[in-house]
Amino acid sequence: MLLENVRKEIVSYSRKLIESGLTVGTGGNISVFDPDSGLFALTPSGMDYFDMEASDIVVLDLQGRVVEGCRKPSSELELHRIFYEKRPDIRALVHAHSTYCTVLATNRMDLPASSYLVAFAGKNVRCGGYASFGTRELAELTFQAMEDRQAALMANHGLIAGGPDLMRAFDVAQQIEFCAKVYVKALSIGKPVILSDQEMESMATRFGSYGQTVKKEDE
């Protein structure tokens, strides 16, 4: 089976979409790009994540042609494909219908630097223009909104987050949803204080080396 380990990882993280509250039902989709083969693996359309197996994950080429898999790929195929075509720094994408990001996106609002954690995505998180789901137009508008960023809001729709691997893309999605929740609640009781670009640049640099480095046993 092509990209077997990648497909297993996608199944695991798809279930986390539900368990973490980032989406409901069969909403959202996940993909991972393999630069060695030039192929990417994508969740199938409209399938319960807890019924899904690795063999249900669809493998496609960068032209959007199915290379392996018996399922219909996610309707947001174009949304994933455009990033793998044009953003070599992004090798995994998580698209979710998370509540607070969708609240902001419904109001066509960006998520400003209301928390230093926004720096996981960039200085802020922009909201892209609206287009119908599954269209190339939506993919292009979202791609523009995510320029120089690791996440974007999709007008009246939800959130997309990317990263060099699926673990980090998923982490960005969780962090940005948390920041959106805090920002929406802060708006309800006052005027949130926004951090400076300088502070956010500093945070982005620090996040670049955030976490643990695993040492080899013989070191």
**Residue numbers annotated as active site:** 76
How far is residue 177's CA from residue 173's CA, in Å, rounded to a whole number?
Answer: 6
What's the longest Cα–Cα distance across the chain? 55
How far is residue 177's CA from residue 114's CA, in Å, rounded to a whole number?
Answer: 12
Start-to-end CA span in the chain (Å): 35
Q: How far is CA 67 from CA 21, 74, 79, in A?
A: 32, 14, 18
| Amino acid found at 114 | S
